[in-house]
Amino acid sequence: MIALLFSREPHTRARALALIFRGAFWRGVIVVDHREPADIVARLEELKVPVTVKQIYPGDYVIGEIAVERKTISDLFSSLVDHRIFEQLERLRETYPVPIVLVEGDLTEVAELKNPRSFWGAILAFTVRDHIPLIFTPDQEQTCQALFTLHKGGWAEVAEFGLRHKPKILTLDQRQQFLVQGLPSIGDTLSENLLERFGSVRGVFNADEHALAEVPKIGEKKAAEIVRVVTAKWEGRQKRLEDRPADEETS
- Rounded CA separation 66/219 (Å): 32
pLDDT band of residue 237 (cuts 50, 70, 90) is low
Got the DSSP string for 162-180? -SS---SS--HHHHHHHHH
User: Tell me, what amino acid is at 134?
Assistant: L
Structure confidence at residue 163 (pLDDT): 41
- Rounded CA separation 36/52 (Å): 12
Closest listed residue to residue 56, CA positions, set 92, 90, 83, 32: 32
Strand intervals (E) in 59-195: 61-63, 66-72, 98-104, 134-137
Q: Does the structure show a pLDDT above 50 at 2?
A: no
Query: For a pLDDT cut of 70, what percent of the chain falls above it?
Result: 76
Structure confidence at residue 170 (pLDDT): 67
| Domains of the chain, start order | 2-152 (3.40.50.10130), 172-231 (1.10.150.20)
Q: What SS3 state is found at 119? A: helix
How does pLDDT run across 11-29, given as a tens digit for each residue? 444 544 454 444 434 457 8
How does pLDDT run across 180-217, given as a tens digit for each residue? 988 988 888 889 999 999 999 999 999 999 999 999 98
Lowest mean pLDDT among 6-15, 78-87, 155-164, 220-229: 155-164
Lowest mean pLDDT among 18-27, 51-60, 99-108, 192-201: 18-27
* DSSP 3-state percent helix, strand, coil across the chain (nearest 5): 50, 10, 40
